[in-house]
Amino acid sequence: MVAEREQIRLAQHLGQLVYERRVALDLSQAGLGERLAMTADEVETVELGGMLPVTADLLVRLAAALRVEVDLRVMTDGSNTLAFEDAA
């Protein structure tokens, strides 16, 4: 149950990061979807935290599409963190 809640928390945090970066890049959901080979509805699902589980493949695709580096830290105590940084 704790692991499931952590996945939901990470998905919601990822969604917020994606939304903020998409807006900063002045991209529509459809525009980001084109970069990700996703529909606008699928991008909305990601932004709302509904894309479960958060996979390495999704993070790699988002990093390329949003031109960011993704920093995921997985901690044994469950205090996992996720952050975006501008790509060099």
Domain boundaries, the chain: 2-86
Per-residue pLDDT for 75 more than 90?
Answer: no
Question: Residue 30 corresponds to which tokens in the numbers above?
Answer: 């459809």
In this predicted model, what pLDDT tens digit does every residue of 11-38 receive, in sequence order? 999 999 999 999 999 999 999 999 999 9
Please state the pTM of the whole predicted model: 0.91
Question: Residue 12 corresponds to which tokens in the numbers above?
Answer: 């919601």
Contact present, 61 and 36 (Cβ < 8 Å): yes
Domain 2-86 annotated CATH 1.10.10.60: no
Query: How confident is the prediction for the chain on average, in pLDDT?
Result: 92
Contact present, 12 and 53 (Cβ < 8 Å): no
